[in-house]
Chains A and B, each alone.
Chain A
Amino acid sequence: MSLSGRDLTIGYSDRVVGRSLDVALEQGEVLALLGPNGGGKTTLLKTLLGILSPQAGEVAIGGRSLASISIRERARLIAYVPQVHNPTFAFTVESVVLMGRTAHGNLFSRPSAHDRTVAARTLEQFGIAHLASRPYTMISGGERQLVLLARALAQEPQFVVLDEPTASLDFGNQGKVMREIRALAKAGHGVLFTTHDPNHALRAADRAYLLRAGERVAEGAVGSVLTREQLEELYRAPVEKLTDSASGHAAFLPG
């Protein structure tokens, strides 16, 4: 199954953000979306999720048009991990993860025993089962990101779409989230994430999609797309490349 956008014009009612965008994501692979602020990353992401309708072109999942799929069925195919935010109410971690089961029940249903089992299993999977009864407002940013990941997996989706999953995390938690992203792909999910750090794309993604001012600058395997020249063109800023002589791994520094 693949999630794809063909010849997309994306944007809001009052303005077009990007045109003629083609993007495809297969199950089992990780695609990183990079580009400067205001370049259309979040808009493209929301269009692929079905939160925004494309102004032209079509988003399809498994050969079916996303527009023809009900919002409930969509949530069982694609899960969204938003940026970590401060919630209004102090729901427990378990309640937050149970919300991931919304699409598996009807409008009036309460979480079933099976729903609770799935929620407990995903909490276990991310090593945060001990947080289950803690208020979501009283845990750290890194823990919240893991809770949101657990909630996404509780949807039992085929695809997981993450908006800047490493943005507000400390160094150690950034690494943890990237490892979890790899694990999701290994378990057969198609994963799409946006990031401001090309090193995170190098680390966690198979392919990279570079977006600037609503246009695709480049797309391909991270090794071939994420070069110093390409990044300098993408961000219009000088970039330095470092290579570790022992492992051969590369990393980029801005400026």
Chain B
Amino acid sequence: MTRPFLPGLGVALGVLVLGLIVAFTVGRYPVTLAELVDVIWSRATGGQPTAPAAVENVVLLVRGPRVVAAVLVGAALAVAGTAFQGLFRNPLVSPDILGASSGAALGAVLGIFFSLGVVGIEGLAFLGGLVAVAAVYVIGSFLQSRDPILVLVLTGVVIGALLGAGVGLVKYLADPYNQLPAMTFWLLGSLAAITVADLLPLLGPVALGTAVLLALRWRINVMSLPDDEARALGLATGPLRIAIVAAATLVTSASVATSGIIGWVGLVVPHLARALVGPDFPKLIPTAALLGGGYLLFIDTIARTAAPVEIPLGILTAVIGTPFFIWLLAGMQKNWS
């Protein structure tokens, strides 16, 4: 019972397209499908839209950047999660397992603490994620072990806890009226403040990291075997592991720096993708990317429309992710003994 690839990929693409339509049309200022098509068509062909200017503004300037960011962040987290689940041979791993999110969180709260502005905060968050994972990797490599993967994960947990303490300290010292709410809001994750200027710093790293993971997709299959086996099959696992971790971390850090901490997407979406096309990474990575983009788009649309105030993304993904995770654990006893 292999799952056919193209129908599965088609479903993922369908989810993304549906997500795009819903995200553009639903909201405080409703846009009809005809108006949406009109605006996009006239932009693509260079003609003059017949829809009112307000509609064009909503589509291109208000919702456009946010929609693009949601797709990129969702796809990035899903691809990184897929790669990490393969690398760590564990379907319950998420992209922040090596401390990318905790590092980014510390970077962001420091940026807010020192009032660095948006660029400074996002830059520090991005660097924080990269530095945290690099530190975990270097420390993990110094600890000689017969199970390098396990040591790496445990080092990630330990360093993550330390970074969490750092975040706590900065919040404790922060100005409770201006800085603390900003930090809390950032840590819960949101795409509300996205502008066109945020898109390029997000797109660059995400495209680069995803391209590397896509290029290595056949080898990630082999990397999901025990280390001895992968090496006996002719794979230099050490350098390849660094490449995969670096690519996935680049993608994760860029996403988290833009959107704040959005958990669960990188854990849940790879499973949905696996249910669609099976575990083969060459099929899984593109499917997870499309599905992740569509998934976060739906979540973000709920976040901005379900209540009079924005619901933080991290809360929504957790509310959906937790029951899913429990369902996963129940199924695991049957499938992954």
Contacts and interface: CB of A to CB of B under 8 A. Distances in A.
Interface string B306-337: 00000000000000000000000000000111
A14 B224 CA distance: 27
A254 interface: no
A51 B232 CA distance: 7
B280 A92 contact: yes
Interface in B229-257: 229, 231-236, 240
B48 interface: no
Given A13-B144, A75-B233, A86-B337, A109 B86 contact: no
A149 to B, nearest CB: 14
Given A85-B226, A88-B89, A76 B218 contact: no
B228 A95 contact: no
A88 B91 contact: yes
A171 interface: no
Interface string A129-148: 00001110100000000000
A6 interface: no
Contacts of A89: 86, 91, 224, 274, 279
A91 interface: yes
Given A49-B232, A103-B234, A107-B219, A90 B226 contact: no
Contact of B221 (A82, A99, A108, A135): A99
Contacts of A51: 228, 231-232
B1 A99 contact: no
B219 A102 contact: yes
Interface residues of B, number: 34
A80 B226 contact: no
Contacts of A155: 233-234
A151 B274 CA distance: 23
A155 B229 CA distance: 13
Given A13-B144, A90-B278, A99-B225, A111 B218 contact: yes
A116 interface: no
Counting chain A residues whose Cβ lies within 8 A of the other chain, the interface size class is 35 or more
A182 interface: no
A103 B235 CA distance: 7
Interface in B260-297: 274, 278-280, 282
Mostly helix, strand, loop or mixed at chain B's interface?
Answer: loop
Candidate in B144, B233, B234 with the most chain A CB atoms within 10 angstroms: B234
A92 B280 CA distance: 8
B91 to A, nearest CB: 7
Nearest to A13: B144
A82 B1 contact: no
A79 interface: yes
Interface hub of A13, A73, A75, A90 (most chain B Cβ within 10 A): A90
Given A88-B336, A89-B91, A75 B280 contact: no
A100 B234 CA distance: 9
Nearest to B219: A107
Interface string A193-208: 0000000000000000
Nearest to A79: B232
Nearest to A105: B218
Contacts of B280: 91-92, 95
Contacts of B282: 110
B216 interface: yes
Contact of A80 (B144, B229, B336): B229
A72 interface: yes
A135 B86 CA distance: 16
A216 interface: no
Interface in B35-93: 86, 89-91
Contacts of B91: 88-89
Contacts of B23: none
A102 B234 contact: yes
A71 interface: yes
B3 to A, nearest CB: 10
Interface of A: 12-14, 46, 49, 51, 71-76, 78-80, 82, 85-92, 95, 99-100, 102-103, 105, 107-111, 133-135, 137, 151, 155
Q: Which 10 A-B pairs have the closest CB atoms?
A: A103-B234, A75-B234, A80-B232, A89-B279, A72-B234, A102-B233, A88-B89, A133-B2, A108-B215, A102-B234
23 contacts: A51-B228, A71-B235, A71-B236, A72-B234, A72-B235, A75-B232, A75-B233, A78-B232, A80-B229, A82-B226, A82-B228, A82-B232, A86-B337, A91-B221, A92-B280, A95-B280, A99-B225, A102-B222, A103-B233, A103-B235, A108-B215, A110-B282, A134-B1
